[in-house]
């Protein structure tokens, strides 16, 4: 029995198209939506071209991240290809004063928040605790603990509301995270206090090797009802629909009407991380079916239907993407090797005995080697 066998496991099968909000068909045809159209009325050809460029840059940076890992320049990379529209569409719906709490896969969100290409890679090289200064981008450091950022976002949102600000928080997490206590606690708190927070779940169908069908017997967005907040299931490969529903949810939050749960239905085309082998748990035809729903091709086809010269759009986007990837590669390779003992810096504001013990033990370990790291360890152990 495989975990994806719904009949044998007794799980309900789920139609991906069920209750899906969509404004662009996979072939790029625009679907009219009386309720959502006003939320993206400002997206003319020029703005859509900029957004397409964002998608292309993010995809190229992702491919570059994988390449850098394969060449030993970074330790790990969690690919996001397939999820570009979910990330860029939602992040470009935010205001600068909104605050973003994301996980490790949201390099597309970081790009949209103005983080430089090297900032996307420096942590994966193990050279810094963060690739950016959170206060400069209103973007918290990436969260590795699954779902924890949903609590941080809720707390921030409650604080903003108490301060009388009309900024909102957004928490990004995956489908697997919805099985975590932290996310469920955040949803309870946010609903109870009507916090101005948007929960943005990228349902990319897999939590490492666990399929979403094993984690939830119904579409994730329908869970929101039980918490007392609106839940919306949107086509996460449709940039227009993602942007429209996120803008509407943010507006609701700003007006004091409380949180919204968005389930962006998308797909992780690559492995969970560069340390994963998805061929062990995922069927090739599943990946192929999602290739037909590619977010970049869809927006480009839409631009073509609006009369844009799509060859020029693609060519110009590639110039920007090439510059960004070159910058990322060169800056990444120029990052100096950090001092091994610096891993203990910036953990706590005040020293404590637990950390000191770890520090001491690590210094003694390093002292066993007779290279630079060992000398540094000996020095620190003295
Ligand atoms: C609290 C916690 N438990 C387990 C892990 C190990 N882990 C890392 S990624 C992952 C799966 C996350 O899947 P999902 O939430 O769907 O996000 P995705 O990686 O697909 O974006 C797990 C279980 C962790 N990092 N934190």
Give the residue-averaged pLDDT of 120-124: 96
Supply the DSSP string of 307-330, one letter for each residue: T--HHHHHHHHHHHHHHHHHHHHH
User: Tens digits of per-residue pLDDT, 230-242?
Assistant: 999 999 999 999 9
333: three-class secondary structure by DSSP: helix
The pLDDT, as a whole number, for residue 18 is 83
How many other C-beta atoms are found inside a 10 Å radius of the C-beta of residue 82?
26
The answer to whether residue 93 scores a pLDDT higher than 80 is: yes
- CA 373, 375, 377 angle in degrees (round to 5)? 70
349: three-class secondary structure by DSSP: coil
Distance from CA of residue 110 to its chain's centroid?
8
**Ligand 1 atom having least distance to the Cα of 103:** 21
Query: What is the whole-number distance in angstroms between the Cα of residue 30 and the centre of ligand 1?
Result: 35
**How far is the C-alpha of 359 from the C-alpha of 381, rounded, in Å?**
8
Q: Select from 177, 205, 207 the residue to mutate for testing ligand 1; criterion: most ligand atoms less than 8 Å from CB.
A: 207
User: Which residue has 């033990």 as its token pair?
Assistant: 361
Supply the DSSP string of 90-143, one letter for each residue: HHTTS-TTSEEE-BTT-HHHHHHTT--GGGGTTTTTTS-S-SS-HHHHTBPPPB
**Cβ contacts of residue 172 below 8 Å, gap of 6+?**
87, 90, 100, 101, 102, 103, 106, 109, 149, 200, 202
**How far is the C-alpha of 134 from the C-alpha of 137, rounded, in Å?**
6
In 3D space, the residue among 16, 6, 8, 7 whose CA is nearest the CA of residue 175 turns out to be 16
The two structure tokens encoding residue 286: 């599943």
Q: What is the CA radius of gyration of the chain?
A: 22
Helical residues (DSSP H) of 223-370, grouped into ranges: 223-227, 239-254, 284-291, 295-305, 310-334, 353-366
User: Which secondary structure element, helix H or strand E, spans residue 189, and what is its range?
Assistant: helix 181-192
Give the residue-averaged pLDDT of 166-174: 98
Contact 228, 17 (CB under 8 A): no
Give the residue-averaged pLDDT of 118-136: 94
The answer to whether residue 351 scores a pLDDT higher than 90 is: no
The answer to whether residue 3 scores a pLDDT higher than 50 is: no
**How far is the C-alpha of 154 from the C-alpha of 349, rounded, in Å?**
24
The answer to whether residue 10 scores a pLDDT higher than 70 is: no
Task: Please tell me the total number of residues recorded for the chain in this structure.
Answer: 382
The pLDDT, as a whole number, for residue 11 is 54
Query: What is the whole-number distance in angstroms between the Cα of residue 47 and the centre of ligand 1?
Result: 34
The pLDDT, as a whole number, for residue 7 is 46
Q: Select from 146, 213, 215 the residue to mutate for testing ligand 1; criterion: most ligand atoms less than 8 Å from CB.
A: 146
**How far is the C-alpha of 141 from the C-alpha of 332, rounded, in Å?**
18
- CA 172, 175, 177 angle in degrees (round to 5)? 70
Query: What is the whole-number distance in angstroms between the Cα of residue 118 and the centre of ligand 1?
Result: 24
Q: Which long-range contacts (CB under 8 A, 24 or more apart) does 285-290 make?
A: 290/82
The pLDDT, as a whole number, for residue 15 is 77
User: Tens digits of per-residue pLDDT, 40-69?
Assistant: 999 999 999 999 999 999 999 999 999 999
User: Which residue has 């919805």 as its token pair?
Assistant: 178
Percent pLDDT > 70 in the chain is: 93
Query: What is the whole-number distance in angstroms between the Cα of residue 177 and the centre of ligand 1?
Result: 6
Contact 139, 132 (CB under 8 A): yes
Q: What is the CB < 6 Å shell around ligand 1?
A: 105, 144-146, 173-177, 204, 206-208, 268, 272
In 3D space, the residue among 361, 363, 358 whose CA is nearest the CA of residue 373 turns out to be 363
The pLDDT, as a whole number, for residue 211 is 94
Q: With both helix axes pointing from N to C terminus, report the angle between 84-91 and 295-305 in degrees, rounded to the nearest 10.
A: 70
356: three-class secondary structure by DSSP: helix
Query: What is the whole-number distance in angstroms between the Cα of residue 238 and the centre of ligand 1?
Result: 25
In 3D space, the residue among 103, 87, 112, 120 whose CA is nearest the CA of residue 171 turns out to be 103
The answer to whether residue 266 scores a pLDDT higher than 90 is: yes
Question: pTM here?
Answer: 0.93
The pLDDT, as a whole number, for residue 347 is 86
pLDDT band at 1 (very low <50, low <70, confident <90, very high): very low
The pLDDT, as a whole number, for residue 23 is 98
Contact 34, 245 (CB under 8 A): no
Contact 252, 258 (CB under 8 A): yes
**Ligand 1 atom having least distance to the Cα of 204:** 20
Contact 82, 266 (CB under 8 A): yes
Q: What is the mean pLDDT of the chain?
A: 93
**Ligand 1 atom having least distance to the Cα of 272:** 19
The pLDDT, as a whole number, for residue 346 is 84
From atom 8 of ligand 1, which residue's Cα is the shortest distance away? 146
**Ligand 1 atom having least distance to the Cα of 180:** 1
């Amino acid at each position: 029995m495989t975990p994806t066998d719904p009949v044998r496991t007794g799980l309900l099968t789920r139609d991906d198209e069920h209750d899906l909000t969509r404004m662009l068909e996979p072939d790029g045809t625009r679907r009219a939506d009386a309720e959502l159209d006003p939320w993206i009325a400002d997206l003319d050809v020029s703005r859509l071209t900029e957004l397409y460029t964002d998608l292309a840059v993010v995809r190229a940076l992702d491919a570059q991240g994988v390449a850098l890992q394969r060449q030993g320049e970074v330790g790990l990379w969690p690919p996001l290809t397939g999820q570009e529209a979910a990330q860029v569409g939602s992040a470009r719906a935010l205001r600068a004063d909104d605050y973003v709490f994301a996980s490790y896969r949201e390099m597309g969100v970081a790009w949209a928040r103005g983080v430089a290409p090297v900032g996307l890679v420096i942590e994966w090289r193990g050279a810094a605790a963060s690739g950016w200064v959170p206060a400069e981008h209103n973007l918290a450091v990436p969260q590795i603990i699954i779902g924890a950022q949903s609590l941080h976002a809720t707390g921030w949102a409650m604080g903003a509301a108490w301060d009388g600000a009309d900024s909102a928080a957004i928490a990004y997490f995956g489908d697997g995270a919805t099985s975590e206590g932290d996310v469920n606690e955040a949803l309870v708190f946010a609903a109870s206090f009507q916090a101005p927070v948007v929960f943005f779940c990228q349902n990319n169908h897999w939590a490492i090797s666990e399929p979403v069908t094993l984690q939830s017997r119904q579409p994730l967005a329908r869970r929101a009802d039980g918490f007392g907040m609106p839940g919306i299931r949107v086509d996460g490969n449709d940039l227009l629909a993602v942007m429209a529903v996120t803008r509407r949810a943010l507006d609701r939050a700003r007006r004091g009407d409380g949180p919204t749960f968005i389930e962006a239905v998308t797909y992780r085309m690559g492995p969970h991380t560069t340390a994963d082998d998805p061929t062990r748990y995922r069927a090739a035809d599943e990946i192929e079916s999602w290739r037909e729903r590619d977010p970049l091709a869809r927006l480009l086809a839409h631009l073509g239907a609006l009369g844009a010269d799509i060859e020029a759009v693609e060519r110009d986007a590639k110039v920007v993407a090439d510059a960004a990837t070159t910058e990322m590669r060169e800056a990444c390779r120029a990052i100096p090797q950090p001092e091994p003992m610096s891993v203990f810096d910036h953990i706590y504001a005040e020293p404590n005995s637990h950390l000191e013990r770890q520090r001491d033990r690590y210094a003694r370990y390093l002292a066993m080697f007779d290279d630079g790291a060992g000398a540094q360890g000996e020095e620190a152990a003295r």
